[in-house]
Amino acid sequence: MREEGSERKPLSAAELFDGLGIAYERAFGRLPEQLAAVDWLTDRLGAGARVLDVGSGTGRPVADRLVRAGCAVTGIDVSGEMVGLARAQVPGARFEQVDVRDYDAAPGSFDAVCAFFPLLMMSRAEAVASLERMAGWVAPGGYLVTATVPADVDGVEIEWMGRPVRVSSFPVEEYVRTLREDCGLDVLRHEVSVFRPNDEHAAPEEHLFCFARRVEPV
């Protein structure tokens, strides 16, 4: 994330990604740590595992990689443009246009939930509530794998990929604490890396990947 002054009105997440379309995949579709995180997950899931991909974007690489590993994948995204691209590119998964804050699923509905960068354009309170909701959808023994851009910011206006947006996030320690204490998950590990997107308007970003598990009842 790169903070810059801008007189333009910040875009909503739907507006941003409707406008970016396939350009987002070109910029972020080959993120090595994300690919490794999906492979880490599929190595631990059985055939037919139910996986929810939150902020599924164009469907590639996450939903596509999960389908190829034999998972039953549901993807959700706020952008109609992204959902249309995902349905065309990954016909083996099911995609819905819905905000994670409005998505309805029964507790323990999924063997795993992936959430790669979908919370950054929410307030901090909304992001925490969304993490708690996602954790509740994970079946006992299942996994929540997430990624964010760690930063101590709340409602800050920046320019990202040449567009004005408002973002919030957490420092690394606070994000991990949220998963452990607020979401009740066992954080198996977390790691920070830096990625340079394949786009002239996007600056290098620090990324935090967290691998967590819902403990099975004794």
Q: What is the pTM of this model?
A: 0.93
∠ CA 133-95-203, rounded to 5°: 75
Q: How far apart are CA 71 and CA 119, in angstroms?
A: 24
Burial zone of 160 (CB within 10 Å; 0-12 exposed, 13-18 middle, 19+ buried): buried
Evaluated on CA atoms 169, 170, 176, 180, the torsion sign reads negative
pLDDT at 2: 43
Tally of residues, the chain: 218
Tens-level pLDDT at each residue, the chain (218 residues): 444 444 689 999 999 999 999 999 988 888 999 999 999 999 999 999 999 999 999 999 999 999 999 999 999 999 999 999 999 999 999 999 999 999 999 999 999 999 999 999 999 999 999 999 999 999 999 999 999 999 999 999 999 988 999 999 999 999 999 999 999 999 999 999 999 887 777 778 999 999 999 997 76
Q: Are 156 and 168 in contact (CB under 8 A)?
A: yes
pLDDT at 3: 45
pLDDT at 218: 61
pLDDT at 147: 98
Residue 114: CB atoms within 10 Å:
28
pLDDT at 6: 43
